[in-house]
A = this chain, B = another copy of it.
């Protein structure tokens, strides 16, 4: 029942009005003009609406089945995945020397939103493959790159990420999977991994597992963890598939959502693997994969919110209940569409202002990533490293909340599976958990990233906000509606950071007890900055006589909503944070 249309107009606004990508000095950006990006986004949108979206409910209903060690994916998934592969979508931003299209990552972010909105479970089969591609690209030997990358780029083979074991998730130092060196330079991998997305399936000819394991005799804990390439089938010298490796799926998990994606218990029984990167430095390579995955998961939050919002909006325009308190809006009909009611409008504005703000922030951040990657820009790298946990944590928390809000617009129908809104909520829920639960993102942000490089990236972020405000506060409308609220929110965020610096050194719990609030607060300030920048861009477009005035005026109105109705959250978070660790930790664990 639900439908999906890619937000082409809005993506074009962000790429060109806001980010002006084709004016950028980032390699490859000059080619990204309006027509080019429109063509790509429209094609991705078409594939999403026509091929992927109709399979979303099918995947939810059928799920995956494990039969004699083989995982069957839902009806139509393989064929749809073929279209993703054959259209080159999985290779969009991959290196040309391995068969990729060599486009900047920003084009991947822009198109992936549509794929994930349309079918999150299906798109995950390529999402982790991209992470495996990056890990091998950055840490593999030339021989490894030549052997594995072309197939991963084309998604003929898919990739996985094997970290978690039953007794160890966040604390990977407790890992038990072992890798014993063999005379031929390979390793024998033995152990059990759980929660392996796309661990086994029938969508690709081979599966390339990247597996964390310990080489016996290495250092204890996380410092003794190495990363291995462990394929389902061992490739022959000529690239054809050889013997089946000693790795198998022991169980499929029954989950709350993303039923179309196979979440596997993977058993390694002396499987053959090859070291990727240095021994005992496995986390370094894994983090390359994980950072990519964290941004990807953050975007899942946005993408689920977007599709849920689209459907809530359509329902709110269609469903007739009650009358507009200011006078009938649909006097000929038995009642007015519920979009006339202020509380429904509040909910829709919350949804809209999040998805548009997050879309801008996701693309703005990917531009930083492109700059960091291709220009080796240390400032951009510091900033994207700081912002990655915010995107992962804030986008996914909000993605779930927004999907829930959208479901609520449907009233009772929202709770009925047939209407499709429940699936968006259930699918969105996982994004808060995997790739580091959001509490871990908050810890990473406050415990690591804020203080990184002596606080340089954090200062750079505040500088960015300050500079934008300073350069634009001559515009009275911008100042009152957007810049002043942004300034207040940014001041709250800075005060929280100051509090951490002053009180966290006395007792680190003072910082950690406020870490989650800080992450949320920072997410709001980031979206606040985007809305201020979008308001500027919209005003410029209007001043330049843009033809679609309604679009730009809607931007201004939506931004004003965000400033007036969402940003005030920073004050609450600051109050919580500055109450310190005492109220949080006073109660002894035994006395709960």
A residues near B (Cβ < 8 Å) are 164, 167-171, 174, 194-195, 253-257, 313, 317, 320-322, 325-326, 329, 334-335, 337, 339-349, 352, 400, 404, 407-408, 411-412, 414-418, 422, 425-426, 429-430, 432-434, 437-439, 442-443, 507-509, 512-513, 515-516, 550-551, 553-554, 557-558, 560-561, 563-565, 568-569, 571-572, 575-576, 579, 581-587, 589, 591-592
Whether A430 contacts B408 in the complex (CB less than 8 A), given A321-B168, A342-B509, A558-B587, comes out as no
- Supplied contacts A171-B335, A349-B587, 4 more A-B pairs, CB within 8 Å: A171-B322, A256-B415, A342-B509, A550-B591
Q: Which chain B residues border A340 with CB–CB below 8 Å?
A: 589
How far does the alpha carbon of A68 sit from the alpha carbon of B414 in the complex, in Å?
27
Q: Which residues of chain B have C-beta atoms less than 8 A from A335's C-beta?
A: 171, 174
A429 to B417, CA, bound (A): 13
Contacts of A438 in B (CB 8 A): 408
Q: Give A334 to B317 CA distance when docked, in angstroms.
A: 56
What chain B residues lie within 8 Å of A415 (beta carbons)?
255-257, 429-430, 433-434
Q: Is the CB of A586 within 8 A of B568?
A: no
A563 shortest CB reach to chain B, Å: 8
In the bound complex, do residue B195 and residue A412 qualify as a contact, i.e. CB atoms below 8 Å apart? yes
Chain B residues lying within 8 Å of A557, measured Cβ to Cβ, are 583, 586-587, 591
Separation of A352 and B591 alpha carbons in the complex (Å): 12
Question: Contacts A347-B439, A515-B343 known; A553 to B334 CB distance under 8 Å?
Answer: no
Cβ B553 vs Cβ A342 within 8 A: no
Contacts of A329 in B (CB 8 A): 589
Would you give the shortest CB distance from A517 to chain B, in whole angstroms? 8
- Whether B429 contacts A412 by the Cβ 8 Å rule is no
Partner of A571, one of B339, B430, B564, B572: B572
A584-B418 contact given A169-B321, A321-B170, CB 8 Å threshold = no
**Is the pair B558, A584 in contact by a Cβ cutoff of 8 Å?**
no
Write out the residue numbers on chain B whose beta carbons fall within 8 Å of the beta carbon of A563: 583
Shortest distance from the beta carbon of A503 to any chain B beta carbon, whole Å? 13
